[in-house]
Amino acid sequence: MNSVTVFKTRAKSSVAAPVLVLAHGAGAPADSPFMELLAAALSAQGVTTVRFEFPYMEKRREDGKKRPPDRQPTLLGHFRTVIAETCAGIDGQAGVFVGGKSMGGRMASILAAEPGIDDAVRGAVCFGYPFHPPGKNDRWRTDHFQSLCRPIQIIQGTRDPFGKQAEVEARALDTLDNVNLAWLEGGDHDYRPLARQSESREDLIQQAAAAAARFMIGQE
């Protein structure tokens, strides 16, 4: 197994911390401003993050050329490699979770629906889930929610064009076993608030990190 380059941000605590294997979204790398802010906020909440990049993003880092995401089997296979390496390198007492931003969160949720998922993985956290492409409410990406083997926590801005609060709640997804939803008031897909709001994007990211930490600690 070839080793995967990761960006690790340790929890600011002395106790055994949950470890979140965190994937990026389709268009931005593991060290994008959003991912850096999220990793720091999770660290402050007592969560260690292990960020990584999918193969197409690794190639972009090497030559600077933008590429579309790899096909789903490649994304999932790479994710599994990082999970295996992470689980092999941590204290057995620390809970391991998978998660990601947008596309990365969707891949994490698909892994949480696999019966063969690593026994060490206790759940998934999705930051800005792409429920459907913007403006295409007939193409929902939630069929696998019926088959989840681990609980997932979705943290979504209320005005996210990939799944606004009203349309998501209309489908009653949170009534499904293992599906948990938390909403960030006014947030878009990148957790940017409305101009008139008193909160900043950093505030909403901190709220997201707190919700994620509560979920992960609750599964231990």
User: What are the mean pLDDT values of the chain's consecutive 10-residue runs (220 residues total)?
Assistant: 75 82 97 97 96 96 93 97 89 85 98 90 97 95 96 98 96 93 98 96 98 90
Residue 1's pLDDT is what? 40
**Residue listed under structure tokens 């681990």:** 150
Strand order in the sheet with 179-184: 6-9, 48-52, 19-23, 96-101, 121-127, 152-157, 179-184
| H or E segment and range at residue 182 | strand 179-184
- Work out the angle at residue 219's Cα, subtended by the Cα atoms of residues 215 and 220, and round it to the nearest 5 degrees: 125
> What values do phi and psi take at 212, rounded to 5?
-65, -45
Domains and CATH numbers, the chain: 16-218 (3.40.50.1820)
Any residues with CB less than 8 A from the CB of 83 and at least 6 apart, and which? 21, 96, 98, 111, 118, 121
pLDDT of residue 2: 54
